[in-house]
Structure 1
Amino acid sequence: MKYSDNALNILTAKTFNGIGDAWINKNLSKTKTSPLELIVELLAKSVKKETVSEEIFLQRKSNIEKQILLLGDSCDGVVAIGDEKFPTHRGAVKESEQPNVLFYKGDLGLLSLENTNVAVIGVLTPDEDTEMDERKIVSLLVQQDAVIVSGLAQGCDFIAHDQTLKFGGATVAILPSPLNNIMPVKHREFAQQIFETGGLLITEYYDAPSTKMELSSRYIRRDRLQALFSDIVILSASYTPNSVDPTALKIDSGSRHAMEKSLEYSIPRAVIYHEKYQRNPKYDLNRQVMKDAKVIVIDPTNPMPMITQILNLDKSPSSNQESDDGQMGLF
């Protein structure tokens, strides 16, 4: 497993009270590693209600390294801001939401800005027609060398990954769990297929969530990564929180998080939609998102015009600038 001393330092810093992503991204360099002495000095100025010293820091760092090593072969490595291979996010992302540590298995190069990364997301229980539409569109994207990004959940996420592999493409699965405990359990063997065929698994976590609330939070945090590591987010189908569907055991509206974040980050959005779905509640979110005139609407009966538009999106550096400090394309 590959990891730098810098990555361990950043993970250790995040164990101190009040130290989160915003602090890390504001105080530690994105272009070079920060020495331990500087990190401890900065922490001592910021941390309240607990002591910060090099001795305490090094003890916590040792414990974290032991936990990381327990990941074994499930993880190829860890990268952090300041590391040469840490990937650049797309869009204008505030410091509190920019990733700073990633655990990965597979080809980290798939997150490069040189690729056209397309997130394809949607409901956990798609209809047969929805699946057919999504598979058609994903296959067209893959044939044009797009990298397909999704979250490995059942339903639309799985369809996106699966269709990519069937057409010999590369896919990125972004997880809310550590790499040695992939969720959902039934997709663990499939996750192995992803990295064995040139794809990538990534997560921000090396330990399991301690509560259901923390797990829910991780899913939402995962959804922001789907947006910020993609050049566009495509919604296959999804309910809204207010949807009514007598045939559904549960109203799944989790896709809204990635769609909201893509809007917030100024990352383009698209939906798959045809008028035949006008009475289908599983397309409520699609209809809601379509109210934004900037959203690309992909007609599944004639998808190529919009696929071409997606593949020709402007990817100039100005579209990838950071929102807080005005720096651009640093990683």
Structure 2
Amino acid sequence: MANNIKSELFFLKQYGYSEGLLEYIFLSGQNPIYFIFDNDEYTEDEKKIFTKKDEKLSFDKEKYKEFKIELFNNDAFLTKHSINKIYFKYDKTYFNELFPEKIQPLFMYSKGDEKLLSTGLKRISVVGTRNPKERSIIATKTLVKKYVEKGYVIVSGLAEGIDSVAHQVTLENQGKTIAVLPTNFNNIYPQKNQSLARKIQKNGLLITSIGPSENTFKSSFLERNQYVANMSEILLVIETNLKSGTMNTIRNASLANKKILFIDQKNEEVNEKISKYGGVQINGN
């Protein structure tokens, strides 16, 4: 399929069209603009693919054209001299190797050293609570330093707490780190981590499935957890509770048959649950 078709799908996604509709258009070999704005002979099955939002957006072709021109001319992510990368699901990319097809988004985006996604590198994902105890912070610093010295790329989610400590310690020890964002690059979350994100971009890699004009939803955080779980051969759990984003990541790692390591949670119920997901307890020192 020609690159201009993929480019059109990208802009349509930024405009707000659903991934399911755009993926159908690509796989069925349709012309995106004709199919969405000019086609008046949809089959019954094709009608069902359109969400209510898709239908609403398809009434104004000129408005979409104006949006596309504005985004192309003014978004920093799309400048000719940008080091940013856009990855398409049906091209051969790093993400085809890292993620099973069922969780691959139509587009992924990166800033920084994309070679850190290479299957030839060792990666470990470090996860934990946004409000860690002091002992957990100490354990994160100790363990991350050890894995950096062993040549591992440290993967985490740029959240407050354990994620931030993992990224910072990696950089302080001249290691390489990948931050998986639940937002686009224009809206780093949390805002207090904007400086950290810039450092990671220069010395590591930022990735996200949220395009420059797309919004972040609650589901975006859950999808981020899936990517963190699948990107590394090992998931290292520092601190969690029974119902948390970290536990969601542990579940995803278990489904992906990843090696799960965890330190003593000082709570037998939590330890037992991680163990049921295949976790192996290690020393945090």
Query: Normalised by the shorter chain, which TM-score bucket?
Result: 0.7 to 0.9
Deviations 1:156-192 (A, max 9, x none): 0001101111111111111111101111100101110
Amino acid corresponding to residue 162 of structure 2 in structure 1? C
What does residue 281 of structure 2 align with?
297
Contact in 1 for aligned 2:25/2:31 (Cα 8 Å): no
**Could you tell me which of 228, 235, 248 is aligned with 2:230?**
228
Please give the alpha-carbon distance, in whole angstroms, between the structure 1 residues aligned to 2:120 and 2:66: 36
Contact in 2 for aligned 1:150/1:226 (Cα 8 Å): yes
Deviations 1:80-106 (A, max 9, x none): 123454533436x352x2222112110
**Could you tell me which of 218, 221, 232 is aligned with 2:220?**
218
Shift in CA distance, 81/5, structure 1 to aligned 2, threshold 3 Å: farther
What does residue 80 of structure 1 align with?
88
Please give the alpha-carbon distance, in whole angstroms, between the structure 1 residues aligned to 2:201 and 2:15: 34
| 1:118 positional shift | 1.2
| 1:228 positional shift | 2.1
Deviations 1:276-318 (A, max 9, x none): x535xxx8644411234x32322123xxxxxxxxxxxxxxxxx
Shift in CA distance, 14/71, structure 1 to aligned 2, threshold 3 Å: closer
Shift in CA distance, 75/6, structure 1 to aligned 2, threshold 3 Å: farther
Please give the alpha-carbon distance, in whole angstroms, between the structure 2 residues aligned to 1:226 and 1:22: 26
What does residue 90 of structure 1 align with?
98
Amino acid corresponding to residue 63 of structure 1 in structure 2? F
What does residue 127 of structure 1 align with?
133
Partner SS for 1:104: strand
Shift in CA distance, 85/71, structure 1 to aligned 2, threshold 3 Å: farther
When the two structures are aligned, how many residues end up with a matched partner?
266
TM-score (ref. length: structure 2): 0.78
Contact in 2 for aligned 1:259/1:269 (Cα 8 Å): yes
What does residue 251 of structure 2 align with?
260
The Cα RMSD (Å) is 3.5
Contact in 2 for aligned 1:120/1:235 (Cα 8 Å): yes
Contact in 2 for aligned 1:6/1:80 (Cα 8 Å): no
| 1:234 positional shift | 1.5
**Is residue 165 of structure 1 aligned with residue 171 of structure 2?**
yes
Identical-residue share of aligned pairs (%) = 24
Partner SS for 1:270: strand
In the TM superposition, 1:141-156 aligns within 5 A as: 141-156=147-162
Identify which of structures 1 and 2 has the higher relative contact order when contacts are C-alpha pairs closer than 8 Å and 6+ apart: 1
Contact in 2 for aligned 1:8/1:61 (Cα 8 Å): no
Amino acid corresponding to residue 8 of structure 1 in structure 2? S
Please give the alpha-carbon distance, in whole angstroms, between the structure 1 residues aligned to 2:194 and 2:57: 40
In the TM superposition, 1:1-331 aligns within 5 A as: 5=4, 7-12=6-11, 14=13, 19-20=18-19, 24=23, 28=26, 37=31, 46-48=46-48, 50=55, 56=61, 60=64, 63-64=67-68, 66-67=70-71, 70-72=74-76, 76-90=84-98, 93=100, 95=102, 97-197=103-203, 199-205=204-210, 206-207=212-213, 209=215, 215-241=217-243, 253-273=244-264, 277-279=265-267, 285-292=270-277, 294-301=278-285
Contact in 2 for aligned 1:231/1:267 (Cα 8 Å): yes
| 1:236 positional shift | 0.8
Please give the alpha-carbon distance, in whole angstroms, between the structure 1 residues aligned to 2:30 and 2:63: 13
Please give the alpha-carbon distance, in whole angstroms, between the structure 2 residues aligned to 1:297 and 1:232: 13
Partner SS for 2:192: helix
Please give the alpha-carbon distance, in whole angstroms, between the structure 2 residues aligned to 1:263 and 1:103: 25
Contact in 1 for aligned 2:159/2:190 (Cα 8 Å): yes
Partner SS for 2:130: coil
Please give the alpha-carbon distance, in whole angstroms, between the structure 2 residues aligned to 1:216 and 1:269: 25
Contact in 2 for aligned 1:90/1:231 (Cα 8 Å): no
Unaligned stretches of 5+ residues in structure 1: 242-252, 302-331
Shift in CA distance, 52/288, structure 1 to aligned 2, threshold 3 Å: closer
Amino acid corresponding to residue 217 of structure 2 in structure 1? L
Contact in 2 for aligned 1:77/1:105 (Cα 8 Å): yes
Partner SS for 1:290: helix
Deviations 1:33-82 (A, max 9, x none): x97638966995634464999x95x9747734643654316871322123
> Which structure has greater helix proportion?
2
Amino acid corresponding to residue 31 of structure 2 in structure 1? E
Unaligned stretches of 5+ residues in structure 2: none
